[in-house]
Amino acid sequence: MVKYVLKRIGLALATAFIILSLTFIMIKLLPPERTTGQESQQIAFYEEQVRLGYAYSFNMEKPELGEYLYKTNGSSGKSTYYYQVPVMKQYGSWLKNIFTKFDWGVSRKINPNVKASVIIGERLGYSIRINILSVLFSVPIGILLGIWAALKKNTMTDHVISTLVMVFISIPSFVLIIFLLLIFGYKLGWVPTKWPNPTDPLSYKILGYILPVFCLSFGSICGYCRFTRAELCEVMESDYLLLARTKGLTKKQAILRHALRNAMVPIVPSILAEFIGILGGSMILEGLYGIPGIGKLFIESLEYKDYNILFVDMAIFTTISLLAGVVLDISYGFIDPRIRMGAKK
Amino acid sequence: MIDNHQDNMTNLTKDDFVLVQKDTKISDKALESKPTTFFKDALKRFRKNRSSVVGAIILGILILLALFVPAISTKNIERTSKSEAFLAPKLFEAGTGFWDGTKKYTRIVYDIVNEVPADYYKPAVLNLKVDEKPTYIDQASKNGKGGFVIFANETKSPDKSVLLSSYPTLFTSSGNYKVQFLLDNEDHVQESVLGEYAVYLTYTDNGTAKRILLKDDSTDYGMIELDISLALQEAGLPEVKGSLSFELKSKENENTYILIKECVFSSNEETENYDELVNQISFTDATKMVLLARDEFQNVPVGYWSCSGRKGVHNSEIYYCDFLYDTYAVAYDAQEVTYAASDLQSYIDQGLCEYDYTIGPESFKKLSDECPIDSVIDQQINSITKKLLSVRANSYRYRKLGYKKMPKFILGTNQNGQDLFKKAFAGLRTSLMLGVCTAAFCFLFGLCWGAISGYFGGNVDIAMERFCDILGGVPWIVIMTLAILHFGNNFITFFLALCLTGWMGTAARTRTQFYRFKGREYVLASRTLGASDGRLIFKHILPNSLGTIVTASVLMIPSTIFSEATLAYLNLGLQGVQAFGVMMSENQQYLQSSPNLVVFPAIIIALMMISFNLFGNGLRDALNPSLKGSE
C-alpha cells in the first residue's frame, strides 16, 4: 500500500513537472509584451528578469538578438537595452530558480514588482474561504437529499428531487449566477450585487459571501445528491441488506449500520478530493462577482498579459487537479478494504 | 380428483392415440413475428422514455431554429444602429400589456407643466400613473413646486442678510406699498432651529448703504404684513429706490434658519411698470424662486435673492409616476426627416409618390404605402440652378432605417441595435457547429486510439495510457488559453484545442469496452477461423461497444458549447463569427438595465443543456438496455 501511494504521488509529481515545463515553454514562446508604464517600475522589472536569467541587459543595441524588450535612457546618456534570452536557456534558468530558490518571478502589471508567490498568497485566501464555506454547505445538504430520494425511491418525492437535480446539473454555472444575481441582487436587493469593498461594514461583507457560496454549492449539492441516491439505491437492493432485515434489524438500523456505510465508500473519496479543490477558485464566478481570488487573478493576468502571474496561476490549477486525482485514488484504498490499489491480477 | 383421473386412464384404448405428424414433413418455417434490428429495437426503447422524447423534440426545435433563423430572418446583425439600441422584446402590439415592446418605469419624476414624465417622449408613454400625494424633497428641481425658501445661518457667525431682489425697486410713501410674507414655524429642519430675524428696507443714498427698519428682531412666524409706505413716511422720505432684506441672527451653539413660504408685494399705484416689477420680486412658489439663476452673461433676474448666508429649498413638492414606455415608438415614430432631391426623385421614379417642386409642398401626393414620406413640410431650392435641393418631410423613422413596416424584435435588441433573436440563434449555430465538429473528430480519433490501446494491450497500452495521463493532467482551461494566445481566437483554434483534450474520454471508454469484449467466446471463435485484427475490431468488438461510446460523444456537444461560453466569460471568446458565449458575456453588463438581453440567451442555453442531457440519458438507455435506470 505504501509503495502504491508513493508510486502514485511520484507519478503525479512527474506529470506535474512535464506539464509545467511545457506550459512554461509555451508561455515563453509567446511574443513578449512590451509595456509602457512608470520607468522606474519597468527598470526594476527587467532587472529582476535579468537576475532570474530570463533577459540580457546590454549597454548598446544588439540587432542580432532581435528586437529589444525595453530600453532605458540613463542619466549619463548611456542607454541600457534589455533582450530576451533564448527560450530553452530561460527554461534552464527557470529550473534552477524553482529547485534552488523556489522563485517564481515578479508581477509586471497587476501588482508591479511584487513576488508572484506573495500575490498568489494574498488572493488564495478569498478563494479558499468561499470554497470551504460552499463545501461545508453543500456536502451535508447534497447527501441528505440523496438519502431522502433513495429512501423514497420511485415516489413523488424522488421524482421531484431527481428532476430538479437533473435540471440544475444541466444549467451552466454562469446562467445560474445570472439568475441569482438578477433575483436576489437587483430585484429583491437582499444581497450585494458585487463583492463588497474592504471598507464596507462587516455585516455587508458577510452578506457578500451568500451569493457566491450559494452559486458554488448548487452544482455540488446536485452532484452529491445524484451520487448518493445512485449508490444507496444499489446498496438497498443487495443481499446483505436483505439478510440484515431478515435477521431482525429494524429498517432504521439496517439503513444506518449497513446501507449508509457501504454507500459512503465511493462518496467520501470525492469529498476529500473536493477539499483539495477548494484551493482553486471558480473563474467565472470570481470574474462575474468581482471576488479577488485566484480565478479572477487568472482573468486579470490574461487581460494585462502578465505572464509570470499567469504561469503561476496555471501551475496552481494543474497541481490542484493532479493532487485531487491522487487523493481520490488513494482514499478509495484506505476507505474500502475490498479494493487493493495497484494489486496485480 | 385422483380417482376420477384413474378412471379415465383405465378407459383409454389404443385408438384414442393419434400421431399428429404421421406423414407430414417437418421443415423450417419463417418467423411470423416481424424481424427487428438493433437500432429499431433501440428506437422502440427510446420512444417509451417520455422525458427523453420531450428532450429530443425541444432539442430538435432548437437545432432547427439555429439552422433556419439566421438564414431566413432579414434583420441585419452586423451593422450598429444606436437609435435602435435596447428595444424591449415585442411580439404583440403595444398596449396589450404582455410582450409588447414596452418597458416598465417606476418612480420617475413627473413634469407637471408638460404632463409627461420628465425628459420622456410623450407619445410613447402608456398607462401613466402619477402618485396622488406629492413627495417632499429638500432640493430645487425644475419639476418641483411649492415648498419653502430656507434661509440659514451658521452657528457663531455674523448675522446674515438676504436681499429680496437684486435690482432696487422704487417705493414711494404715497403709493401704499405693502409686503406680505408667510413664515413657517416648523422647528428642527436640517439639524438647525428657527432663528430671530429682522426686516429692513435697504437703499443707497449718495453711494452709502442705508437701511430703514421695518420690523425689529422677532420670532413671529405666520402671516406677517408690513407697510413700507408708512415706514417711509415715518422716516420722512418721499421715495426710496431699494430692496427689502431679511437679517437672520446667529446663535451661540445652533445653526439658525427661517422658512419663507411666500412673499407678496402690493401697491395701489397704477403704473404698469411698477406692477410688473412688484410682480417680479414677489413669489408664491418657493421652488421656482430658488431656481432663478444667473444667465450665461452672469446677469441676474430681478427676483434673484442675493444672499450672504445659505438659501435653499425645503419641502419642495415633487410627483413621481409609474408608466410603460413604448421603446418602439421612440425609435421608429413619425419625425421630421430631410430627404435629398435624388432620394425623392427615386421614390417618384418608382411610382411611390408625386411631387412638383415648382408648386411646393402642397403638390406632394402619396401613391403607395411603401413611400417613406408622409407629407412634405417645406423645400429648399438651389438659388443658382433653381433646382430642388432637399425637402423636409414628415416620415416614419423605420422607413428611413430601411424597414418596410414597423419592425418587431421578438427578444428585443442589444446595445448595438441588433436583433437578439437572430443573434442568439446565429451564435447557437456556430456553437453547435463547433460542438458537432469536435464531437465527430473526438469520436473518430478516440475510437481508433481506444481500440488500438484496448485491443493490443501490453506495452502499447501502457505507453498510450501514460501519454493520456500527462495530456489529461493539463486542465483544459490551460490548454485552451495557451492555444488562443498562440494562434488567436478563431474557429479553427477553438476546434483543434477542444479536440486536443476532448478525445481522451472517448478513448478511455472505448478501451474499457474493448477489454470487456475481446476475451468473449465469439471473438475467440472468429479468431480461430482466421479473422484479421481489423475484422475482429470493426466487425465483432466495436458494434457491441458502440452504444455507450456514441452516447458519450453526443454529450460532448453540450459540453463544447459550455466550454465556448466559459471562455467568452474569461474574455477569450470566439472572434470573427457570431458566438453565443461572447454575446452573453457582452450583454452581462446590461443585466440590471435590460435583463432581457441576458435572460433570454440564458434560457436558451439552459434549455439546450437540459434537453441534451434528457436526450443523452434516453439514448444511453436505448442503446444499452443493461444500464437502464442508472445515473
Residues of chain B positioned with their CB less than 8 A from the CB of A22? 474
Residues of chain B positioned with their CB less than 8 A from the CB of A175? 602, 605-606
Residue % of chain A over a pLDDT of 90? 14
- B274 vs A164, which has greater pLDDT? A164
Q: Are B455 and B541 in contact (CB under 8 A)?
A: yes
The answer to whether A183 contacts chain B (CB < 8 Å) is no
CB distance A302–B588 less than 8 Å? Answer: no
pLDDT value of residue B424:
93
> How many contiguous H segments (helices) and E segments (strands) does chain B have?
19, 23
Count CB-CB contacts under 10 A for residue B360: 14
SS3 labels along B287-316:
HHHHHCCCCCCCCCCCCCCEECCEEEEECE
Element (H, E) at B127: strand B125-130
B256-266 and B148-153 as β-strands: parallel, antiparallel, unpaired? antiparallel
Cα(B506)–Cα(A97) distance, rounded to whole angstroms? 39
Which residue ranges make up each domain of chain A? 31-90, 116-335
Express each pLDDT in B43-75 by its tens digit: 888 888 888 999 999 999 999 999 999 999 888
Which residue shows C-alpha cell 424522488? Answer: A158
- Distance in angstroms between the alpha carbons of the first and the last residue of chain B: 54
Q: Nearest to residue A318, comparing CAs of A33, A7, A64, A12?
A: A12
- Tell me the pLDDT of chain A (345 aa) as tens digits: 788 889 888 988 888 999 999 999 988 888 887 766 777 788 888 888 888 888 888 887 777 777 777 777 766 667 788 888 888 988 999 999 888 888 888 888 888 888 888 999 988 888 888 888 999 999 999 999 999 999 988 889 999 998 899 888 888 888 888 889 889 988 888 989 889 988 888 888 889 999 999 888 888 899 999 999 988 988 888 888 899 989 999 988 888 888 888 888 888 888 888 877 777 668 888 888 889 988 899 989 888 888 889 899 888 888 888 888 888 888 877 777 776 655 554
Cα(B285)–Cα(B281) distance, rounded to whole angstroms? 12
CB distance A318–B474 less than 8 Å? Answer: yes
Residues of chain A positioned with their CB less than 8 A from the CB of B606? 170-172, 175
Count CB-CB contacts under 10 A for residue A142: 26
pLDDT grade for B631, boundaries at 50, 70 and 90: very low
Cα(B585)–Cα(A283) distance, rounded to whole angstroms? 14
pLDDT grade for B1, boundaries at 50, 70 and 90: very low
Whether residue B272 has pLDDT greater than 90:
no
Express each pLDDT in A242-265 by its tens digit: 999 899 999 888 888 888 888 888
DSSP 8-state class, residue A196? P
CB distance B475–A18 less than 8 Å? Answer: no
Express each pLDDT in B387-411 by its tens digit: 777 888 777 777 777 787 778 888 8
Segment B191-205 mean pLDDT: 85
Whether residue B630 has pLDDT greater than 60:
no
Q: Are B555 and B613 in contact (CB under 8 A)?
A: yes
Which residue shows C-alpha cell 415516489? Answer: A155
DSSP 8-state class, residue B411? T
pLDDT value of residue A148:
93
Pick A171's closest partner by Cβ from B592, B606, B631.
B606
On the CB side of B449, CA atoms within 13 Å amount to 22
CB distance A178–B591 less than 8 Å? Answer: yes
Distances (CA, A) of B405 to A223, B104, B400, B408, B417: 51, 25, 11, 9, 17
> To 10 degrees, what angle do helices A307-335 and A294-304 make?
150
Chain A residue whose CA is closest to B597: A178
Cα(B512)–Cα(B549) distance, rounded to whole angstroms? 10
Which residue shows C-alpha cell 410674507? Answer: B181
Strands (DSSP E) contained in B347-468 are 353-354, 365-366, 373-381, 388-396
B43: which 3 cell numbers?
428506437
Task: Determine the distance in angstroms separating the CA of A4 from the nearest CA of chain B, rounded to an integer.
Answer: 16
Element (H, E) at B106: strand B102-111
Q: Is B210 helix (H, G, I), strand (E, B) or coil?
A: strand
Segment B604-624 mean pLDDT: 88
Tell which of B104, B485, B566, B587 to mutate to test the A interface (max A CBs under 10 Å).
Answer: B485
Cα(B147)–Cα(B140) distance, rounded to whole angstroms? 9
Q: Which phi and psi angles does B518 have, rounded to 5°? A: -70, -20
Whether residue B430 has pLDDT greater than 90:
yes
Express each pLDDT in B547-573 by its tens digit: 788 888 888 999 999 889 988 988 888
Segment B327-356 mean pLDDT: 80
Q: Is B490 helix (H, G, I), strand (E, B) or coil?
A: coil
Residues 270 to 289 of A: which have CB under 8 A from any B CB? 283-284, 287-288
Q: Nearest to residue B456, comparing CAs of B387, B376, B534, B390?
A: B534
DSSP 8-state class, residue B177? -
pLDDT grade for B425, boundaries at 50, 70 and 90: very high
Q: Are B584 and B568 in contact (CB under 8 A)?
A: yes
B560: which 3 cell numbers?
463544447
Bridge partners for B222 per DSSP: B183
Q: Nearest to residue B371, comparing CAs of B352, B354, B349?
A: B352
B508: which 3 cell numbers?
478511455
pLDDT grade for B629, boundaries at 50, 70 and 90: very low
Q: Which phi and psi angles does B199 have, rounded to 5°? A: -120, 135
B169-172 and B306-307 as β-strands: parallel, antiparallel, unpaired? unpaired
Bridge partners for B240 per DSSP: B171
Element (H, E) at B182: strand B178-184
Q: Which residues of B444-454 are buried (b: 16+ CB within 10 A; e: fewer)?
A: ebbbebbbbbb
Element (H, E) at A213: helix A202-236
Q: Are A309 and A316 in contact (CB under 8 A)?
A: no
- Distance in angstroms between the alpha carbons of the first and the last residue of chain A: 15
- Give the fold, CATH level 3, of A116-335: MetI-like fold (1.10.3720)
Q: Are A141 and A164 in contact (CB under 8 A)?
A: no
On the CB side of A62, CA atoms within 13 Å amount to 14
The DSSP secondary structure of A9-27, one letter per residue, reads: HHHHHHHHHHHHHHHHHHH
Q: Which phi and psi angles does B263 have, rounded to 5°? A: -150, 110
CB distance A230–B631 less than 8 Å? Answer: yes
Chain B residue whose CA is closest to A20: B474
Residues B613, B616, B622, B627: is their CA dihedral positive or negative? negative
When the pLDDT of each residue in chain B is averaged and rounded to a whole number, the result is 84
Segment B443-462 mean pLDDT: 90
Burial class (CB in 10 A: 0-12, 13-18, 19+), B336: exposed
Task: Determine the distance in angstroms separating the CA of A295 from the nearest CA of chain B, rounded to an integer.
Answer: 10
Count CB-CB contacts under 10 A for residue A288: 23
Segment B301-326 mean pLDDT: 84
Distances (CA, A) of B235 to B165, B168, B216, B230, B247: 22, 18, 15, 9, 20
pLDDT value of residue A147:
92
Q: Are B183 and B222 in contact (CB under 8 A)?
A: yes
The answer to whether A303 contacts chain B (CB < 8 Å) is yes
Element (H, E) at B530: none
CB distance B599–A167 less than 8 Å? Answer: no
CB distance A29–B486 less than 8 Å? Answer: yes
